[in-house]
Amino acid sequence: MTKRHENGSLVVFLWISFTSQKLEWRKGKVNPFVSSIRARLRPKAMPLNIVRDADGLPRIILTEPTGSSAEVLLYGGQVVSWKNERREELLFMSSKASWKPPKAIRGGIPVCFPQFGNLGSLEQHGFARNRMWSLDSDPSPLPPANNQSSVDLVLKSTEEDLKIWPRSFELRLRVTLSAGKLTLIPRVRNTDHKAFSFMFALCNYLSVSDISEVRVEGLETLDYFDNLINRERFTEQADAITFDGEFERVYLSTPTKIAIIDHEKKRTFELWKDGMPDAVVWNPWDKKAKALPDLGDEDYQSMLCVDSAAIETPIILKPFEEWKGRQEISTVSSSYCSGQLDPRRVLYGFH
Q: Are 71 and 62 in contact (CB under 8 A)?
A: yes
348 within domain boundaries = no
User: Could you tell me which residues come within 8 angstroms of residue 36 by beta carbon, excluding any fewer than 6 positions away?
Assistant: none
121 in any annotated domain: yes
Domains of the chain: total = 1
Report yes or no on 293 lying in a domain.
Answer: yes
Q: pLDDT at position 56, please? A: 75
| Residue 43 counted as domain residue | no
Cα dist. 36→10, 16, 20, 41, 139 in Å?
17, 11, 11, 9, 12
Residue 10 lies in a domain: no
The reply to whether 216 falls in a domain is yes
> Residue 209: which CATH number?
2.70.98.10
Q: Answer whether residue 226 is part of any domain.
A: yes
Return the biggest CA–CA distance within the chain: 72
- pTM, entire model: 0.82
Distance CA(295)–CA(107), nearest Å, equals 9
Residue 25 located in a structural domain: no
Which range marks the domain in which residue 180 is found? Answer: 50-336
Q: Give pLDDT, residue 339.
A: 41
What tens digit of pLDDT does each residue of 144-201 get?
555 679 999 999 999 999 999 999 999 999 999 999 999 999 999 999 999 999 999 9
pLDDT of 148 reads 75
